[in-house]
Structure 1
């Protein structure tokens, strides 16, 4: 079991996926400072119910049972003066328990899952790589500076899930899938649905 700081979000982060965040709450400014000082990361936990921003009198958010460990890969001061960071997903984790510190920062006891060993791309899944390559031409995606190994089907699948316009609850379920075959079959079904073939 490992204790890590948590960043509850209404969006789901997946391994190899990248996500921009605007940081303005003191608890998260302190978290980012610590992470950059120690080259460490934090856990992104999906909010099943509740709000991202702490408000007086609001109930604590209800967090999902699993999430993704994130590292900061880029940062900048935004035009509005806020701190902007880009995070990248690394390992999945199972959230065993979570508590809130006096500062408002969440901490979780987690079981870190080992990163899956690379699996070579096969011909029957080449269509997933083709879709991902087309998404990479979008200016919003180009700004993320993704570094995708197209020979590893895990990277292709996770990055696709991150980028596709899917409901966050569905992304959360896909993050929880441990079997590559199940993940690929569901991703294939979703792409057929999006393209109107189903």
Structure 2
């Protein structure tokens, strides 16, 4: 996921400083990409503990992963451990707020993707931990220039797709957004299915994300128009 030179900030850890252990937050339909921002509302005791543990580390990283079962979020038993996809994205806590009713409101900044090499025993406070393999996605933290090959076409296809989903967007504001920021934001914000979002997460780079997103938007548009197209 080559998200451009604006991806890394002055407080982000370098690749050599990435931790050998990572807490994970399984959450359906929550896509975080390198360079993206993801707001989270945390209220379960085990995930409140996870946030406190992450804040106590220099990197302040949480690994976002999607459960394989899209309905896993509804099963809130304390001992429920859903199977998760093997590829996720590590996000750094860049802001957090404590609410009067005992929740944390966070913003994660996407840093680098990872593949789960091994899942560790549950932390004593109930949250999950893994040994992440960052090496396969080291290019996420490299600086690469990115430019949409055909920005007008991408925006036109996006606009038609959002119409089928009755979603609104500030088109005037988009004109000033850089290409890499636009693609990442649209991938995260678009009302795609969990499996589609996972496919975007596992793309090699932003060029591949654009190609896949465009195909998804066109298929959804054709389906809404009465076509028989189907994603495989």
**TM norm structure 2:** 0.66
- Partner residue in 1 for 2:183: 157
Q: Distance in 1 between matches of 2:110 and 2:79?
A: 32
Matches within 5 A, 1:72-151: 72-78=93-99, 80-99=101-120, 100-112=122-134, 113-114=137-138, 115=140, 117-128=143-154, 137=170, 150-151=178-179
Matched, 1:55 2:77: yes
SS in 1 for 2:55: helix
Q: Which structure shows the bigger proportion of residues in strand conformation?
A: 1
- Distance (whole Å) between structure 1 residues aligned to residue 196 and residue 54 of structure 2: 29
Contact 1:129 1:150 in 2 (8 A): no
Matched residue of 1:20: which SS? strand
User: Which ranges of structure 1 fall in alignment gaps of 5 or more residues?
Assistant: 143-147
Q: Does 1:13 align with 2:32?
A: yes
SS at 2:143's partner residue?
A: coil
Q: Gapped runs of 5+ residues in structure 2?
A: 1-18, 160-166, 228-232
Query: Who is 1:145 aligned against?
Result: none
Q: Which of 35, 43, 47 in structure 2 is aligned with 1:24? A: 43
8 Å CA contact 2:61, 2:92 repeated in 1: yes
Please point out which of 83, 87, 105 is paired with 1:66.
87
Could you give the per-residue CA deviations for residues 147-194 of structure 1, whole angstroms, max 9, x where no partner exists? x9614x3x4322211010000111001111114443221111223344
Distance 1:78 1:33 in 2: 14
Q: Contact between 1:5 and 1:105, CA under 8 Å: does it hold in 2? A: yes
Q: Within 1, Cα distance between the matches of 2:129 and 2:20? A: 10
- Contact 2:23–2:54 at 8 Å: present in 1 too? no
Distance 1:25 1:31 in 2: 10
Paired with 2:101 and 2:124, the residues of 1 have a C-alpha distance of: 28
Match of 1:42 in 2: 62
Answer whether contact 2:118 2:131 (CA < 8 A) is retained. yes
After the TM superposition, which of the residue ranges 123-132 and 95-104 deviates more from structure 2? 123-132
Q: Distance in 1 between matches of 2:38 and 2:206?
A: 23
